[in-house]
Amino acid sequence: MSSHSDGSTKAIFYALGANGGIAISKFAAAAFTGSGAMLAEAIHSLADCVNQIFLLLGLKEAQRPVDASHPMGYGRVVYFWAMMVALLLFFMGGAFSVLEGIKHLDHPEPIKNPLVAIAVLGISVLLEGFSLYGAMKEIRKISGGKSFFTWFRETRQSELMVVAGEDIAALAGLAIAFFAVSLSVVTGNPFWDAAGSILVGILLMIIAFFVIREVKAMITGESAAPEVNAAIKAHIENHPQVDHVINLITLQWGDQLMIAVQAKMQAQASDVALIAAINEVEESLQEQWPHAKWCFFEPDIDSSKE
């Protein structure tokens, strides 16, 4: 497993451990207090636990060896599991929370033992903060100094993107739940608790939408990150055996990379020398980018410059 996958696995285990403890405490608090916002948060944390298990399954399946029906391996299966996680976040987390809030609007119930609910929310913030810290720590290792939002749009690591998105949604949802419970206690009006549940659900669905959009692009087939593409092209054109690159295609394949190059080569003494020159370029590419498992190189004439 590559270092990138190792980083994603660490972040997933951070999140799984935090969300497991949070889910148990929230369900207990929801039963004890009768808070709809707390129940919505408990369901959200349970969905997050299932999500992390899905992501681990995806990373494990991606390591399956190449076979006749999958000649380029199973690396992109992680995108399927990331999409499943995003849908689960949308429906089980977001939609359920909205429905739960609507139900409490129709049948309002006062919150019992609000201090318990507030204490659990406080503990949950600490645990979710720990999970987000773990995810951001791994992101900083690979982001190359980019802002989080730029990294989110350009990353090809679906599992790490999903974990970070979940953690951000969780912390924002906890803040909403905290204010909703507090307002219900201060005003004595259970409306705020129900409204908090609905707002948490809407927030989860919004974040799930952005995650789904990014994962859809990965499933469709995305190139390597822009700076990687530029670096690969520069590396090829700086090679003494290459005149210039005519066309370059990269395709992210899970944690691995496919490179297809069409280039005009420097004049060679024979076809054997040309093949040796191409092999030299391919070897240098795979030495510089070890995760570039496939490299297809086509020497050609650039008719546009003739």
Q: With a cut of 60, say whether residue 276 has pLDDT above it.
A: yes
Closest Cα partner for 116 from 191, 31, 54? Answer: 31
Q: With a cut of 60, say whether residue 201 has pLDDT above it.
A: yes
Q: What is the pLDDT averaged over residues 180-194?
A: 84
Q: What pairing do the DSSP bridges indicate for beta strands 256-265 and 292-299?
A: parallel
Share of the chain above pLDDT 70, in %: 95
pLDDT confidence bin for 6, thresholds 50/70/90 = low
- Give the pLDDT of residue 236: 94
pLDDT confidence bin for 258, thresholds 50/70/90 = very high
Q: Mind listing the pLDDT tens digit for each residue in 114-173?
A: 778 788 888 888 888 888 888 888 888 888 788 888 888 888 778 888 888 888 888 888
Kindly report the three-state secondary structure assignment for every residue of the chain: CCHHHHHHHHHHHHHHHHHHHHHHHHHHHHHHHCCHHHHHHHHHHHHHHHHHHHHHHHHHHCCCCCECCECCCCCCHHHHHHHHHHHHHHHHHHHHHHHHHHHHHHCCCCCCCHHHHHHHHHHHHHHHHHHHHHHHHHHHHHCCCCCHHHHHHHCCCHHHHHHHHHHHHHHHHHHHHHHHHHHHHHHCCCHHHHHHHHHHHHHHHHHHHHHHHHHHHHHHHCCCCHHHHHHHHHHHHCCCCEEEEEEEEEEEECCEEEEEEEEEECCCCCHHHHHHHHHHHHHHHHHHCCCEEEEEEEECCCHHHC
Q: Measured between alpha carbons, how far is 44 from 92 in angstroms, rounded to an integer?
A: 7
Q: Mind listing the pLDDT tens digit for each residue in 222-249?
A: 888 888 899 999 999 999 999 999 999 9
Q: Mind listing the pLDDT tens digit for each residue in 67-126?
A: 888 888 888 888 888 888 888 877 777 887 888 788 878 877 777 777 787 888 888 888
pTM comes to 0.73
Six token digits for residue 6: 């190792």
Average pLDDT, the chain: 84
Q: What is the pLDDT averaged over residues 252-257?
A: 84
Q: With a cut of 70, say whether residue 37 has pLDDT above it.
A: no
Q: With a cut of 80, say whether residue 34 has pLDDT above it.
A: no
Q: With a cut of 80, say whether residue 39 has pLDDT above it.
A: no
